[in-house]
Structure 1
């Protein structure tokens, strides 16, 4: 499958052709309904002269029964179905690679545009918790990433473009459909329980498309997900965190990775623009917005553990001081090495010691279980192998090699 998102045709004005112009075939570009939020879908049907409630009907067929053929949408009149066949379509991104790990992790690489480099990744991680079976989907928001965090494989591939709504929500659609392909339409159900906007790209730098996609996730006519089960992860785009608080109620996660500005400037370069004091203040504002405690009781802090870089006891103490006035849960993430990475993974003992220090200080602190290593499930790993769209990775590898030569010569 390939994806194409175009503007809704204007049916109020007839197309006119100049008598002197050569005859051309009148081809109507089809509108992809997959990424439309309910207000957008309602306007689409109103522009067709239809009632707004058709939007809810079609959204249920698309997102709850995973139907892409309008002929199967049996509670819609035959006349409307014929019209939709001519002007609209339901298309998810093209799957160019899929792999299912022995531990249950599933991974897809999608092509979202022309050329071999227009690729993004999506990872589904199953787990058991107190609520039962949980399937968490990690969704990408951009092709590549412009932030270039020093430990991230995706950042070394450069930035190509933002994803549109159909390309974002299409990842969730495909993950659900992967469990339902052989199930009769009437028996299909949504399998993904949690979504994290934590894949390739910085979601707050693709704000409108990400916001509308999350609205589809929460919509009862679509996926009907709890706002506590939809999480947006950001490296710290402070103004957009404040805007997000105004626009939607979802869980917030911060890619922190360093407890002081000097180290974070190195690991997460956007910190130079929005340093830690500003970032923590924005998180505090996000939690206290309108006194809403439904899903904003805390912020999740993500902290990748880099051997000898950010895993010392003094870093744990700095974390305690930094987060003392921010209700938060801390998720320690063992680093997933990738080719030519300048970092190694902290030892298990070092990670456990770091966790104990934070737990003893009263923080809820967990260690993320490493999953999907056999299918390169860490963000950006597989796409980095499939397509390097820029010379950034090549230049970066040369830089690492040069640093190694300097160290050897000094030795």
Structure 2
């Protein structure tokens, strides 16, 4: 049975619902940007490097969300910073916990300029020996991939580097993952060990349509003096924006995942419409040129299994041919149902036969265990609750699951 936590208590609002503010946030700034911001706030030039180092530690090692918690910063400076900047977290509207331990947070960010508050979803997937956080890069999506629930929501706007990093900070808050900090009010704290070990840019949106902000956020996440996630534990997933794939390898250097899903241009044009602009040959050329490829640093190709659409043995053979010469792993993803979808998940025997062929050809092809389906947290199911599911849609999804359309 899944669990939805009520985060509307006065105590929770105080911790996780700061008043919307137009003050700039220090979260998400590069070190140079932070130094310039401090300079504009009156911090003498000779102090800026030291102050940036202090702030960086408090924000990303200790995870504070209030200037008053920065104990080695003078009271006067803390007050001055608080009048001009914010480091507050966004509001957590809802937290859902799946029966398999997956957690999904609905987050509300304050308006930007003349815009309105926006909502996005972030998912944490606990596994043996690791915990993966699936982060969103946009509110909505422009790609309209026909099998993806997120793609049915129109793009509202890009997320800022602050908003991208805030998802990681909130997850660490809620999981008790920052050192020497009091447990946040109402948090469910895992028993032991660091919980968020990996992040994947596989949530709402196409990360490479928001390249600069994603780049800034991921470089901060990988910074060894802060959040300190290895670039080998950060994966950026794209549907195939070829020019930005080259830039990702050169300027960010994280692991790459490709939402492939089809091995013929005619079918991929329908499933992943960006293919019409960047067809398979161009995409494969960009993958072959990705820096640092080796058997230890492979590209992951994501392949959703759709019954009688892309799951034949001929598709498996063509997949092997298409990827020849690319150090690769193929994640086979059983299709996750959502109300209104025209697709069904492939039969389990078909998925296993597909995987066996690809494995025998020398490519690892694990079948991804669907996680969080009961809270719509599985791959392709995220959709901002600003477009909330009607009760009838939820009942329809439950009926589909009971009927066996979404069985593993």
Report the TM-score range of the alignment, normalised by the length of the smaller protein: 0.7 to 0.9
Secondary structure class of the residue paired with 1:191 = coil
Mapped to 2, the partners of 1:263 and 1:54 lie a distance apart of: 54
Residues 43 and 101 of structure 1: CA distance in aligned 2, closer, same or farther (over 3 Å): same
Match of 1:30 among 6, 10, 23: 23
Structure 2 partner of 1:258:
262
Alignment of 1:123 onto 2:123: yes
Structure 2 partner of 1:375:
375
Structure 2 partner of 1:25:
none
User: In the TM superposition, what are the counterparts of 1:7-86 in structure 2 within 5 Å?
Assistant: 30-47=23-40, 48-49=43-44, 50-86=47-83
Match of 1:140 among 110, 113, 136: 136
Secondary structure class of the residue paired with 2:258 = strand
Structure 1 partner of 2:189:
none
Mapped to 2, the partners of 1:2 and 1:365 lie a distance apart of: 44
Work out whether residues 177 and 195 of structure 2, in 8 Å CA contact, stay in contact via their aligned partners in 1: no
Mapped to 2, the partners of 1:300 and 1:66 lie a distance apart of: 31
Secondary structure class of the residue paired with 1:159 = coil
Structure 1 partner of 2:94:
97
Secondary structure class of the residue paired with 1:214 = helix
Q: TM-score, normalised by structure 2?
A: 0.82
Q: How far does residue 146 in structure 1 lie from its aligned partner after superposition? A: 0.2
Mapped to 2, the partners of 1:137 and 1:191 lie a distance apart of: 9
Work out whether residues 92 and 166 of structure 1, in 8 Å CA contact, stay in contact via their aligned partners in 2: no
Structure 2 partner of 1:194:
198
Work out whether residues 263 and 315 of structure 2, in 8 Å CA contact, stay in contact via their aligned partners in 1: yes
Q: How far does residue 150 in structure 1 lie from its aligned partner after superposition? A: 0.5
Mapped to 2, the partners of 1:59 and 1:268 lie a distance apart of: 39
1:231-268 deviation per Cα after TM superposition (whole angstroms, max 9, x unaligned): 10000000011111221210000000001111100100
User: In the TM superposition, what are the counterparts of 1:381-400 in structure 2 within 5 Å?
Assistant: 381=381, 383=383, 386-387=386-387
Work out whether residues 335 and 344 of structure 1, in 8 Å CA contact, stay in contact via their aligned partners in 2: yes
Work out whether residues 2 and 111 of structure 1, in 8 Å CA contact, stay in contact via their aligned partners in 2: no
Work out whether residues 227 and 295 of structure 1, in 8 Å CA contact, stay in contact via their aligned partners in 2: no
Work out whether residues 109 and 122 of structure 1, in 8 Å CA contact, stay in contact via their aligned partners in 2: yes
Work out whether residues 65 and 186 of structure 1, in 8 Å CA contact, stay in contact via their aligned partners in 2: no
Larger Rg: 1
Structure 1 partner of 2:155:
159
Structure 2 partner of 1:111:
108
Work out whether residues 118 and 143 of structure 1, in 8 Å CA contact, stay in contact via their aligned partners in 2: yes
Work out whether residues 61 and 178 of structure 2, in 8 Å CA contact, stay in contact via their aligned partners in 1: no
Structure 2 stretches of 5 or more lacking a match?
1-16, 185-192, 394-408
Secondary structure class of the residue paired with 1:96 = strand
RMSD over aligned CA atoms reads 2.6
Secondary structure class of the residue paired with 2:326 = coil
Alignment of 1:275 onto 2:279: yes
Secondary structure class of the residue paired with 1:176 = helix
1:38-84 deviation per Cα after TM superposition (whole angstroms, max 9, x unaligned): 23223323443232121121122122222112122111122221211
Structure 1 stretches of 5 or more lacking a match?
6-28, 395-411
Residues 256 and 293 of structure 1: CA distance in aligned 2, closer, same or farther (over 3 Å): closer
Secondary structure class of the residue paired with 1:52 = helix
Work out whether residues 250 and 296 of structure 1, in 8 Å CA contact, stay in contact via their aligned partners in 2: no
Residues 77 and 108 of structure 1: CA distance in aligned 2, closer, same or farther (over 3 Å): same
Mapped to 1, the partners of 2:18 and 2:154 lie a distance apart of: 23
User: In the TM superposition, what are the counterparts of 1:277-296 in structure 2 within 5 Å?
Assistant: 277-286=281-290, 289=291, 292=292
Work out whether residues 121 and 380 of structure 1, in 8 Å CA contact, stay in contact via their aligned partners in 2: no
Q: How far does residue 385 in structure 1 lie from its aligned partner after superposition? A: 5.8
Mapped to 2, the partners of 1:100 and 1:241 lie a distance apart of: 34
Q: How far does residue 269 in structure 1 lie from its aligned partner after superposition? A: 0.3
